[in-house]
């Protein structure tokens, strides 16, 4: 099996792939990026927390434009995972408004998004419909 690396450092691979967030130990605000301090309360201590792998689509759009190499159209969405908002594509679903809807229940899924010169695969994530 090819060596794998996550597309972003907040995707943890392995037997049960899932997302993690930096949670402010003071106010509980969650962030996916490297932080200098908390944007909500300004304090500087964070703990890494696991996010649920299931959620609900709170907003989506079907995008016709992207950089070369990105298949279009694709579905971009905001998914509510147990109270934490996650930005992701919706995958394994036809990119049209008949198959994607607000309030849709979805679960995390991973996919290969590229391979580098050494054969290492970059693994990205998206959310797919829980049913159907």
- Which residues sit at the interface with another protein, rule CB under 8 A? 5-10, 29-34, 39-40, 57-67, 69-70, 72-74, 76-78, 83-89, 97, 102-103, 113-114, 116-118, 120, 122, 124-125
59/44 Cα distance (integer angstroms): 31
CB of 88 to another protein, least distance (A): 6
The smaller minimum CB distance to another protein, of residues 9 and 45, is found at 9
CB of 132 to another protein, least distance (A): 20
> Which of 106, 12, 18 minimizes the C-alpha distance to 54?
106
CB of 48 to another protein, least distance (A): 13
CB of 63 to another protein, least distance (A): 5
Q: Is 52 exposed, middle or buried, given 0-12, 13-18 or 19+ CB atoms closer than 10 A? A: middle
60/47 Cα distance (integer angstroms): 30
54/86 Cα distance (integer angstroms): 11
Cα distances (Å, whole numbers) of residue 91 to 12, 24, 95, 129, 130: 18, 30, 8, 8, 11
The smaller minimum CB distance to another protein, of residues 98 and 131, is found at 98
The smaller minimum CB distance to another protein, of residues 2 and 47, is found at 2
The smaller minimum CB distance to another protein, of residues 25 and 40, is found at 40
């Amino acid at each position: 099996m090819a060596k794998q690396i996550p597309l972003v450092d907040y995707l943890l691979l392995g037997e049960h792939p899932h997302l993690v967030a930096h949670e402010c130990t003071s106010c509980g605000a969650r962030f996916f990026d490297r932080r200098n301090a908390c944007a909500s309360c300004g304090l500087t201590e964070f703990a890494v927390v696991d996010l649920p792998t299931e959620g609900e689509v709170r907003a989506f759009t079907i995008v016709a434009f992207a950089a070369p190499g990105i298949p279009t159209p694709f579905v971009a969405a905001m998914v509510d995972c147990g109270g934490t908002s996650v930005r992701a594509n919706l995958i394994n679903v036809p990119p049209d408004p008949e198959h994607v809807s607000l309030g849709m229940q979805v679960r995390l899924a991973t996919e290969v998004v590229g391979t580098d010169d050494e054969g290492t695969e970059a693994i990205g994530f998206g959310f797919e419909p829980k049913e159907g």
